[in-house]
Structure 1
């Protein structure tokens, strides 16, 4: 570690008329000496933070992909057990919401069953996009609702975890 005299001599050699640079270098050296090792070596702090975020990001990404795998299995199970029965029912068949692609109605039914009733009732302009929650609650069992809630929130957790891992390096770089 360089002493204050060596920093002062180096600063005078580089900028003989630069009193401001001498005092700022001395103040920075005193500040670094009073702080911990992470302040003395900022590159070490950056490496530690980078390592921490890569480990945290890796763990969250692993958990998110595991949740996505479970959500895909639950998607198929919920679609075969609950939504297939709802599609066969002529009273509910046309009230499952808009289907953008194959399987979208499975997601819509799970969303309607998992969100609180006061949110689903306030659907406003999205009336045709969402299933009718009154019909769903009358034609589904408690097990169907629990399966739909587990599927929906597992999928939301997995998608948000994957997006979070994609943005962590971008936010902290």
Structure 2
């Protein structure tokens, strides 16, 4: 049963059967899939400092955004990188995906590393986004995660996924 439907998400209550055979009701939030991009320019990474209304403050995070109808994750990553940073990527590499909070949502975030960054004339953030691109080294990001200056889960996940991937290249 649909509880709510908005422009970006919908919420439903549905029955489910647990692995042990019991039946339960679950409320599931469906925001749609999204992407997260870790833009790397040589030794520097391009994060954004973005105002987030639900928490009433700015946070540092990797550029990210919701997939539009008909878009595949790679297309979304390229579009969102330009929209949020003003940079286009010469190369975009998939790093898999994560589930954000599988206790109540089916949202999947597709992870990408973007390299070969060049300025784009198509820069157009959404009208409700207050964003400032900021460059950091890997060492600075590790310290910011450790000290709690970076608290955004998707940013922490993609950075550590990148560290794991780059250790094997």
TM-score (norm 1): 0.24
More helix by proportion, 1 or 2?
Answer: 1
More strand by proportion, 1 or 2?
Answer: 2
TM-score (norm 2): 0.24
